[in-house]
Amino acid sequence: MARFEFRLPDIGEGLAEAEVAKWLVAIGDHVNEDQPVVEMMTDKATVELPSPGLGVIVEQLAAEGDVVKTGSVLYVLETDARIEIGNSGHTPVVTREEPQDADAPAAASAGVLAPPAVRKLARELGVDLARVKGGGPGGRISAEDVKSHASGAPAPAAAPAPAAPGTRIKLRGVQKRMAETMALSARTIPHVTGFHELDAGAFAEHASRLRADAESKGTRFPFDTLLVRAVAMALRKHPIFNASIDEERGEIVMHENINIGIATATRDGLIVPVVKNADAMGLDELAVAVGRVTTAARDGKSSVSDLQGGTFTLSNTGAWRGGLGTSLIRPPEVAIVAFGRIEEKAVVRDGKVLARPVMPMSLTFDHRIIDGEAGLSFALTVRGVIEDPEQLGA
Amino acid sequence: MVAGDQSDPADCLILGAGPGGYVAALRAAQLGRSVTLVERGQIGGVCLNEGCIPSKHLARFAAAKSAAERFAPSGMPAFSGQPDMAAFQRSRAAAVSTLVKGVSTLLEAAGVTVVAGTARFVGRTRVCVEIGEESVRYFDFKDVVIATGSRAAVLAALPFDGERVVEPSRALEWNQVPSSLLVVGDDYIALEIAVAYARLGSAVKLSAPGERLLPDFDRDLSSAVMRGARAAGVEVLMSSDPTPIAANAERVVVSAGRRPNLEGLDLQAAGLAAPNGLFKVDAQLRLDRHAFAIGDVTDGLPLAHRAMMQGRAVGDVLGGKAGGFDSQAMPRAVFAEPEIAAVGVTEAEAQASGIEVVIGRFPLAALGRAVVEAATAGFAKLVFAGEGGAVIGAHLAGPSSTELVAEMALAIEMGATAEDLALTVHAHPTFAESLMEAAEVSLGRPIHVRRAAKN
């Protein structure tokens, strides 16, 4: 049995570090080659790192939530397999594996006897020499051995159907993550959406005033600040919206902190930077926090912690003249609120038709744990705060 | 002049035109990449200009004298007069210049753009090259290869003064043989310089820190070079403090290992790191998706031929080929007295890692060619993985060992067994026969030595 130190490979474009999102196996577990061992999260994607060989996990050198530098040891695998550098490139690990000491004495690898030209052929054909049975004396591996292994090896899954014509763009990075999260959401969560039209006259004035104040002080006051504040207040009052479902344990987890994710469109796709403890900040402080995380997200400079720990998501489509629409909840969260553009609409007040600024709002919640009444009740709280914005503070 | 944001695109940027960098450049260019090669010193690097090439020039120059002396008992008249070191220096410079021109011509023919300057990273994909005092150029690269090599390490007790106390490279440039010379160190560089100058008539002391010369070689080779150095006239002082001895020497050469040239590169700007001062690379020589490192800046033996092989491998990778550096055998050649060479594992390493080995040892005293050349002190010691198994190490002492080791490197790469070696005809009478004979010894059926009693 040899100890193989699995080092964090470069899992994104030259990223220097990644966070341990989740250990998928425990110490003492047996793993097969290519079995996912750990889920790593970077600011761009979450990646499962498969085991490079058959063995037993004997050490984990980082805990969930730890940030690990590329190249440092993540875990130790006790293995009989000779872990080789592959070339097939189907996972990040294979293209960027454990650096080997190429000057290691030959005896260290006396188990694989293959001349240089055969090793080159193996690289070209993506054959792992450790799995080739050598037909020569003492198990020496010939070019023929490698070729027959390559042709006899199971084809790498069924050949994909011939591609239909058209420009093809590989799903990856943020976009791939979005695809996975949204599909999971739609597949697993029974969504219910309520639509609301809020009288936003006072709110808009309040926001303009705060913005003007900020500008006179040379600071910024992002519009989303007030929405975040309003939602944070409602979450404090309706804690079931600030929860998540632990399906494995069959439990609802009520979160202590109110961490509001702000859905942000970027060139690469949807990113949701999080304002932590949104209800615990003064308005000025909140404005700075909202400005910082959304700007960083748009610039592609979000830190890993900026993208983590969200307990509820807010989406504001106003800047794109968005109206009413539904949203998908980001699992494991249980609700999401979306606001549209404030526009003048005909509103009936005291029997008269008035033109009033109206802000559309849709509240989508997970009907597994939130019922219609709770949903309306939450919406009513948000409505109350927005229609009487003095409550939001100045 | 401030160049600001003006930058040039560099498809493939290679930092350092030593044996690693220039080979990588040629191979990548061969495979269609557009290559920019940055060098702050001379094309060919340390190896060509002030290391391997001139040091072997000096070693062979000095050995010519001792070869004649070996034949003195056969009637060759004794050398009279002193070697003309000024003439040697002209010849050394000419040889270096010929080789540097050769490499430059190859680079030019391959369409490699050579930039003379000192590079440092200023971003993930950007390098700033300082050209002279005033001028800078920026390059935005797609791929970068760090091949900046190494320099002599400094011994705190005996810092270089550039004149009396010098690094090994400077000792190759002297116009006179010093009357007394202290060489400090226990590596092959120290040993080669000590032996060469002793042969050229200097009173040489070799001060080694420990109790072995070449401590990372097979013990038998350490003993062989110790005896040989003494026979060549070197006063070898083991486990000695060089500082008091240095005071009385006309010249002092300090060889304290090699230090990778990474300091000025500002690796952090590129998001790169070299833990413990050396890069750990994978078989594709990668640091990350677009950065590679080869040669003395990587973890491993600081040898030109290692860098060159890595250069070819990284050139292949850059050219989209299935390149890889997975050499099983890394030969080492030492031009001391006697010449020694080694490849693969030593007996001690094999034992330490629990591999059962069989040793085949053949003394040159039993070899016709060695007898006529009066060079019978050497031996061939081969390490096999079990009886009749593959050869996994070779440790050679004697004339032409540095050539013979190539056969053993090939044998290891090919997985040749003791039988393969024993059944291959070796020309007679040559030193190479010692390899075939050593294989026979390991199989318990030697022809030219008496069979050892089984114990």
**Among the partner residues A103, A105, A138, nearest to B300 by beta-carbon distance:** A103
Tokens of B397: 């002492």
Q: Does position B80 have pLDDT exceeding 80, yes or no?
A: no
Q: What is the side-by-side order of every strand in the sheet holding A17-23?
A: A46-50, A36-41, A17-23, A67-69
pLDDT on residue B133: 85
- The DSSP call for residue A164 is P
- Give the integer Cα–Cα distance in Å for B24 and B36: 11
Instruction: List Cβ neighbours of B454 (8 Å cut-off, separation of 6 or more).
Output: none
Per the CB < 8 Å rule, is B322 touching A120? yes
Using CA coordinates, name the residue in chain B closest to A94. B282
Distance in Å, alpha carbon of B176 to nearest chain A alpha carbon? 39
DSSP class per residue in A58-78 = EEE-S-TT-EEETTSEEEEEE
- Give the integer Cα–Cα distance in Å for B227 and B291: 46
Phi/psi for B95 (5° steps) reads -65, -45
Tokens 């890692």 belong to residue: B353
pLDDT tens column, B210-262: 999 999 999 999 999 999 999 999 999 999 999 999 999 999 999 999 999 99
Is the bond preceding B429 in cis, omega lying within 30 degrees of 0?
yes
What average pLDDT does range B385-391 have in this prediction? 89
Per the CB < 8 Å rule, is A138 touching B389? yes
**Among the partner residues B273, B283, B390, nearest to A100 by beta-carbon distance:** B283
Q: Does position B357 have pLDDT exceeding 60, yes or no?
A: yes
Tokens of B279: 């890069």
Using CA coordinates, name the residue in chain B closest to A87. B322
- Give the integer Cα–Cα distance in Å for B392 and B426: 20
Per the CB < 8 Å rule, is B328 touching A106? yes
Closest Cα to residue B112, out of B315, B331, B334, B271? B315
Phi/psi for A344 (5° steps) reads -70, 135
Per the CB < 8 Å rule, is B291 touching A119? no
pLDDT tens column, B265-281: 999 999 999 988 999 99
- Give the integer Cα–Cα distance in Å for A343 and B448: 104
H-state helical runs in B202-353: 219-231, 242-246, 304-318, 347-352
CB B21 within 8 A of CB B151: no
**Among the partner residues A13, A110, A116, nearest to B289 by beta-carbon distance:** A13
pLDDT on residue A181: 87
pLDDT on residue A45: 63
Chain A residues close to B275, C-beta within 8 Å: 71
Using CA coordinates, name the residue in chain A closest to B300. A103
Closest Cα to residue A272, out of A185, A367, A377? A185
For chain A, report the end-to-end CA distance as a whole number of angstroms: 66
- Give the integer Cα–Cα distance in Å for A63 and A79: 22
CA B250 vs CA B167, B262, B279: distances in Å? 15, 33, 39
Instruction: List Cβ neighbours of B321 (8 Å cut-off, separation of 6 or more).
Output: B31
Please return the burial class of A127, using the count of CB atoms within 10 Å of its CB with bins 0-12, 13-18 and 19+.
buried
pLDDT tens column, B83-140: 999 999 999 999 999 999 999 999 999 999 999 999 999 998 999 999 988 899 999 9
What average pLDDT does range B354-375 have in this prediction? 93
Q: How many CB pairs under 8 A join A and B?
A: 102
pLDDT on residue B41: 96
Tokens of B86: 């000024």
Instruction: List Cβ neighbours of B42 (8 Å cut-off, separation of 6 or more).
Output: B17, B48, B49, B100
> In which band, very low, low, confident or very high, does the pLDDT at B46 lie, cut at 50, 70 and 90?
very high
Tokens of B44: 């060919």
| Percent of all residues in chain B with a pLDDT value above 70, rounded to a whole number | 98
Q: Does position B79 have pLDDT exceeding 80, yes or no?
A: no
Q: Is the pTM of this model over 0.80?
A: no
Using CA coordinates, name the residue in chain A closest to B309. A102
Distance in Å, alpha carbon of A308 to nearest chain B alpha carbon? 23
Please return the burial class of B78, using the count of CB atoms within 10 Å of its CB with bins 0-12, 13-18 and 19+.
exposed
H-state helical runs in B232-359: 242-246, 304-318, 347-352
pLDDT on residue A134: 85
Which residue numbers in chain A have pLDDT < 70? 1, 11-15, 43-46, 82-112, 153-165, 394
pLDDT on residue A110: 44
- Give the integer Cα–Cα distance in Å for B260 and A198: 67
Helix (H, G, I), strand (E, B) or coil at B39: strand
Q: Give the helix/strand (H/E) hosting A289.
A: helix A283-298
Dihedral of CA atoms B234, B366, B221, B58 in degrees, nearest 10, equals 50
Q: Give the helix/strand (H/E) hosting A18.
A: strand A17-23
**Which of A268 and B316 is assigned the larger pLDDT?**
B316
Per the CB < 8 Å rule, is B344 touching A124? no
Helix (H, G, I), strand (E, B) or coil at A120: helix
Q: Does position B282 have pLDDT exceeding 50, yes or no?
A: yes
**Among the partner residues A71, A103, A110, nearest to B355 by beta-carbon distance:** A110
Active site residues of B: 428
Q: Give the helix/strand (H/E) hosting B101.
A: helix B85-109
What average pLDDT does range B294-319 have in this prediction? 97
pLDDT on residue B4: 52
Distance in Å, alpha carbon of A118 to nearest chain B alpha carbon? 9
- The DSSP call for residue A240 is G
Q: DSSP strand E in B212-298: where?
A: 235-237, 251-254, 258-260, 291-293
> In which band, very low, low, confident or very high, does the pLDDT at B193 lie, cut at 50, 70 and 90?
very high
- Give the integer Cα–Cα distance in Å for A214 and A221: 6
Tokens of A266: 């970027």
Distance in Å, alpha carbon of A55 to nearest chain B alpha carbon? 21
- Give the integer Cα–Cα distance in Å for B399 and B337: 9
DSSP class per residue in A338-384 = EE---EEEEEEETTEEEEEEEEEEEEEEETTT--HHHHHHHHHHHHH
pLDDT on residue A94: 27
Is the bond preceding B9 in cis, omega lying within 30 degrees of 0?
no
For chain B, report the end-to-end CA distance as a whole number of angstroms: 79
